[in-house]
Structure 1
Amino acid sequence: MQMKVNIGKYVKLELSGKKILSGMLVDVGSDLWVLFNGQDYLYIPSIHCQNWQYLKQDEIEEITFSNEPNPLDHHNEEISLRKTLTAAKGIFTEIYITSKQTLHGYILSIMNNYFVFYSPIYKTMFISLNHLKWLIPYTNNIRPYGLNNSSLPVNPNNITFARSFEVQIDKLTGELVIFNIGENDNVIGKIQTIKNNFVELITAKEEPVFLNLQHIKTVHMA
C-alpha cells in the first residue's frame, strides 16, 4: 500500500526499541513520515517503523490538538530525510537516538552518513543518520533550557568535519570520547585504534573494549 493514501488519517507507529508514537499522518516522503501528535511535528525515518495501525476512535479523542504551524513548511515539495535535516539547520530541535533520552539543540552540518549537532549539554556531537529515530522542530522560537543566544553559539568551535562518520571517528584517535550518550561504562574512554570496523576503546581501568562501528550512534568528546 502506498503510505501517501493515509495522509490525514490517525495512526499508531511502533518504532525500533518498542517506541510507540500516535497522531495524524500529515506528510509522507521517500524515506520519511511526518506525524502530528497534537503539539509537535515528528519527522520519522520510515526505516525505523516496525509496524503501524489505525487509531481507534476513543484513542483519537484522547489527543488534544493545538493550532501550531509546522516550523518546517515544505510548500508542497516532496520531503526526504536529507532535505528535512537541511531545512532544520539552525532551528532548535529535539531528536531521539538512544538511551531513553532525547537531545535538544540544533543541527550544524549534514555530511554523507552523519550530521553534526550542537547540544548545550553535550556540546558538539556527531550523530549517525542510520540511528536517528525522530526529529521534532521547536515551535514559537522556544529555546532549549530557557537559554539565551549567547549561550547557544552558531559556530561553537572550529572543528573541520570529515565526509563520513567512520573517518570522523578516526580523526578522534587518541581523544577521550563518549559513545551512545554514555549508555554504559564500556562506551566511555580513549580511542586507541580503528581496525576492521571495530573501534578499540581504552576504558577508565585501562581495559580495551572493541566497539562495532555499525552500532555507534552518537559521539561527543569528554
Structure 2
Amino acid sequence: MRTHGERLRALAGAVLLLGGAVACGGQGGRGASATGTATAPATAEGTTTGRGTGAQASPAAPAPRFDAEIGLPDGRRVGMAYVEGRGLVERHRDADTGVWSAPRLVYATATDRCQSLTLKVFDATVAVIADWGDYCYDGEPPMESLAAVGTADLTRWDTKLTASFDGWSKVAPVGSSGDLLFTRVSTEWLTRLRWSTDGFAEVEEIPR
C-alpha cells in the first residue's frame, strides 16, 4: 500500500506529463490535433484578409486615370482621356454613390493625340477642347480640333470638329444666356464657334 507521500508524488508526476503534452501541441493518444480561429488583420482599405481558408476580400476598384479631370458644383466629377487608336473617352462620377460611369467614346479617331486637353465647367455645363495630329505631341499643329459640350446627366455630348485648324485657345460663357463661345485669335483673324442648347453654330472667321 502506498503512503500518503507516495500518492502525492505520483499525482504530481501525472500533472507534469499532461502539461508536457499540451505544451507540445495537444497531441493525444489518438493523434488528434487541436485547432484554433485567428482574427484576420484589417488591410489599409479597411477590408479583412482571411488566412485560415486562403480567401481574400476583394479590394476597392482603383480610380480611373485621365488626361484631364474636373469637378462640378453638385459634387460630380468628369474625367477624359486620349485613348490610342480610339479617340476621346469620357467617364463621370456620381456625387452620391461615388461610382464612375462606363467609358463613353465622345470622338472617334486613330490620329495621334496632342499635348493638351482642356476641361472647363460653367454651372452644370462641361466644355472640352481636344486636338489630334501627326507629330502633334512633339509640337506640330493639330489636324483635328474638337469642341465638345456636355450637359444635364452627361450622357449626351455635342461635338464640333474643325479640320486643319490650329485649335481653340479658350472657351467662355456668353453673358448670362448659358451659351458658350470657343475662340482663337491670330494676327489676322478672330475665329469663333458658338454653342447653345440647340447645339453648335458654324465656325466664324472675322478679320482683325
* TM bracket, shorter-chain basis: under 0.3
TM-score where L is the length of structure 2: 0.26
Could you say which structure has the larger radius of gyration?
Answer: 2
Q: Indicate the structure whose relative CO is greater, using CA pairs within 8 Å and at least 6 residues apart.
A: 1
